[in-house]
Structure 1
Amino acid sequence: MIPVKVVLAVAGREYIEPLLNYVHGSEYARRLRITAFSQPEAFRQYMMETNGMKRPDIVVGEAAFLSLWTDREAADIPCLALHEGEEVSQYGQPLLKYQPLSELVGSILEMARQRSGSRQSVNSREGGIIVGMMAASGGLGKTTAALNMSKQLGNEGYSVFYLNLETVDSSSLFTGSGSSNSTEGGGLSRLLYDLKATESDGIPFSVASYCVHRPEIQADTFQPVYNRKELIDMTCGEAVQLIRTIAESGQYDVVIVDSESENGDRAQAVLEASHKLIWLLADDLMSMHKCGLWLDVLELTQPEGFEAMLSKTNFVVNRYMGTMINSLPRDFMDLNGALPYIPSWKQMQHRELLLSSPIYQREIRHLCRKLLNVESAAQSPAAWS
């Protein structure tokens, strides 16, 4: 099921927070992605910049907010106008502000369902954008960057899937091992089996039924695979099929793929399947040398696809300290971004701090907007999701 993207605009946090808590703890957690505003100007700015995959499916708000959205009619986004008995029909379909939360959420979903037939989803034709994370060696912070990207995009209203293809999945440090019911749909192992079993039938998959939602990273993902032989034996073709099945399911705006840090079948699949690549570097001699050698191998073995690969690759230095000491290993490379060094991460004892550095999140936000061709906002919206 494709999550419904909702913008909620209400002046009081005492109204917003109980609603969000109810949704996150209920059966609606996977069906709704809510971005909430308590400041009218932040809402107005957000709606002015909304386009493409960031476009909401429905807006629910008070008249004081909706009146500031000047191009409401031209945007053709359904609106539910919250009221307490006053006339608000000029702003959208009236919706009683105070009612049982189950009925309130049900009304939002019903409005979205009615409009689903008249407006095609963002992903229904081309699928989600696949962002591959690459590195020439381990320990460069690839998983940290990938999970921070996932959280940032999720907070901005995108529906995100995080796929880890490492033999040793280090993402569990951030997300934990999950509850006992998290493999209810069978997880990645079952999906791989079903893909093979139905390969000739072309049966569409509901990927969400195989995965678990992780609020820590604002994304769906698979439980870590403990039978690592399944990953080791995965061919390039199988990995490409897996990645594209998730992206083409129509359930996600962005699929972030965390690849193996070696030039093998799964890494090759990420190179082939991704629409955008982030190749992480470290400003040290060995890291640069290994990156150059890997690029040499790719250029030698895949000359016909090498230029295409470079055209979608963003070289980003991680743990940047303000100046670059080492040169990029090849003349054709350009540095497309930098993620800061966070000294406090060396001494920390709480894993959640890896996902909550304001400085790191700021640069991740810039990188995400560059990848998705979204203009940076002058002021970030005060939003919950």
Structure 2
Amino acid sequence: MQGGYPIDLLVVQPSFLREEEPSPNLPAAVLVKRKGECPRLREIEQYQPLPQLMQAISSAYAAIWGADLPAGTAGGAAVIGICSASGGAGKTVLALHAARQAAATGKRVFYLNLELWNASGEWIGRRRSSAAPRPEDGEDAFSRLLYTIKSSPASAAARLAEARERDTRLLIDYLPPCPYPEERLSMTADDAVKLIDCVSASKEYDLVVADLDSGLDELNRAVLERCDRIWWLVPDQAAARRKFALASQYWKRRWPDSFGRSERKIVCVGIGTSDSPDKRPGIDGWRAGSCGWLPEIPLWRAGSGPDGFGGIGSLPPAPAYQAAVVRLLEMSGLRGEGGSGYAAEADRGGTARDGQIADRPERYGIG
């Protein structure tokens, strides 16, 4: 430092600092055992999983310099939107399985929950034992990011780096649930699209998985049109099929141009139906881009089970569901470079944990 070498970020333990505080011009952060040890300095908790530690360092850099650490990749991330006209269809479970399956092949994945009642904390990140927001939970991260995107777009990437969190088990990044529904209710369609654009254009990710509310309002319509692929869940029930038909007809009538641009991107995903081609889900007169299938897992409906990768959090693992999600990724144009070994392993009922795929550098890309 005294020799004049440039410093991007100094990350040290408090004992390495002089008694007086560092110069305001010195980009520094301190490694602490717990927050509050050096309240006047930028603190980073030292004892946490390495991916989270590295992300905290990246966030400190972004906060100081107003930019992300160099990512080294070009182009934006592909975006998959997961929706349904029926509540309780399993959108979040599918979204997290898709994110984890893609991450298991080396893909950099961001999970974005845009539901009004975001319960993804039951499966990812730190469990919230109380509905009351706590400062340490990053209670305003979502709203601060939205505000920055609208008021200072040039600083949005840096704010995203500060706001995001890492699930080290699923190997995905995400935004912590916003504890105030008013923030989500005030979000416009344009805000939601800009939020997705911010994540996609950050060059930090290969895939964004957007988890949407049931229904088809202006915000959902705009997000779905922005997506590269749309997975529309249709449970194998007469009422669910009717809701799917009504929603798609409404979209076509209310926003005909938007529907025309989006129809080819839709993958109609049946749940609990036969996988045979002649019995795949569909609606008379509906021309979806393709159709897929997911098995019904009765054990998931009955209750929780042991923690495991395949079942996401408290859900018991289900190899058949994992394999079906892999097939969905492939039929949606998310093809692996270098073979389909991962899909074959999932079909055999494997769990494809990190060590099992380390020698297969498959990458996915929309195409």
Tell me the TM-score normalised to structure 2 length.
0.67
User: What is residue 131 of structure 1 aligned with on the other side?
Assistant: 80
User: What is residue 373 of structure 1 aligned with on the other side?
Assistant: 335
Residues 246 and 255 in structure 1, CA contact (< 8 A), matched pair in contact too: yes
- Residue identity in the other structure for 1:349: S
Query: Which of 245, 257, 271 does residue 304 from structure 1 map onto?
Result: 257
**2:219 paired with 1:258:** no
**2:240 paired with 1:287:** yes
**Structure 1's 209 and 365: CA in aligned 2 closer, same or farther, altered over 3 A?**
same
**Structure 1's 326 and 314: CA in aligned 2 closer, same or farther, altered over 3 A?**
closer
Residues 128 and 254 in structure 1, CA contact (< 8 A), matched pair in contact too: yes
Structure 2 Cα separation of the partners of residues 362 and 325 of structure 1: 17
User: What is residue 194 of structure 1 aligned with on the other side?
Assistant: 148
User: What is residue 364 of structure 1 aligned with on the other side?
Assistant: 325
How many residues in Structure 1 have an aligned counterpart in Structure 2?
Answer: 275
User: What is residue 305 of structure 2 aligned with on the other side?
Assistant: 350
Residues 273 and 295 in structure 2, CA contact (< 8 A), matched pair in contact too: yes
Give % identity: 25
Displacement of 1:286 in angstroms is 0.7
**2:239 paired with 1:275:** no
RMSD between superposed Cα atoms in Å? 3.0
In terms of mean alpha carbon deviation, does 179-188 or 244-253 score higher? 179-188
Residues 339 and 363 in structure 1, CA contact (< 8 A), matched pair in contact too: yes
Paired residues for 1:58-97 under 5 Å: none
User: What is residue 293 of structure 2 aligned with on the other side?
Assistant: 338
Displacement of 1:232 in angstroms is 1.1
Residues 182 and 223 in structure 1, CA contact (< 8 A), matched pair in contact too: no
Partner of 1:205: helix, strand, or coil? helix
In terms of mean alpha carbon deviation, does 207-216 or 372-381 score higher? 372-381
Structure 2 Cα separation of the partners of residues 173 and 209 of structure 1: 22
**Structure 1's 276 and 205: CA in aligned 2 closer, same or farther, altered over 3 A?**
farther
Residues 130 and 256 in structure 1, CA contact (< 8 A), matched pair in contact too: yes
- Residue identity in the other structure for 2:287: F
- Residue identity in the other structure for 1:359: A
User: What is residue 73 of structure 1 aligned with on the other side?
Assistant: none
Residues 148 and 364 in structure 1, CA contact (< 8 A), matched pair in contact too: yes
Residues 131 and 278 in structure 1, CA contact (< 8 A), matched pair in contact too: yes
Residues 125 and 166 in structure 2, CA contact (< 8 A), matched pair in contact too: no
Residues 285 and 326 in structure 1, CA contact (< 8 A), matched pair in contact too: no
Structure 2 Cα separation of the partners of residues 338 and 251 of structure 1: 31
**2:166 paired with 1:209:** no
Displacement of 1:316 in angstroms is 0.9
- Residue identity in the other structure for 1:338: W
User: What is residue 227 of structure 1 aligned with on the other side?
Assistant: 180
Displacement of 1:352 in angstroms is 3.7
- CA-to-partner distance for each residue in 1:20-59, whole Å, 9 max, x for gaps? xxxx954444759xxxxxxxxxxxxxxxxxxxxxxxxxxx
User: What is residue 196 of structure 2 aligned with on the other side?
Assistant: 243
**Structure 1's 243 and 283: CA in aligned 2 closer, same or farther, altered over 3 A?**
same
Residues 148 and 159 in structure 2, CA contact (< 8 A), matched pair in contact too: no
User: What is residue 41 of structure 2 aligned with on the other side?
Assistant: none
- Residue identity in the other structure for 1:341: E
User: What is residue 56 of structure 1 aligned with on the other side?
Assistant: none
The unaligned stretches of length 5 or more in structure 2 are 1-46, 56-68, 129-133, 346-351, 359-367
In terms of mean alpha carbon deviation, does 172-181 or 254-263 score higher? 172-181
**Structure 1's 30 and 288: CA in aligned 2 closer, same or farther, altered over 3 A?**
farther
**Structure 1's 221 and 321: CA in aligned 2 closer, same or farther, altered over 3 A?**
same
User: What is residue 100 of structure 2 aligned with on the other side?
Assistant: 151
Displacement of 1:185 in angstroms is 9.3
Partner of 2:81: helix, strand, or coil? strand
Tell me the TM-score normalised to structure 1 length.
0.64
- CA-to-partner distance for each residue in 1:314-333, whole Å, 9 max, x for gaps? 11112335574975253424
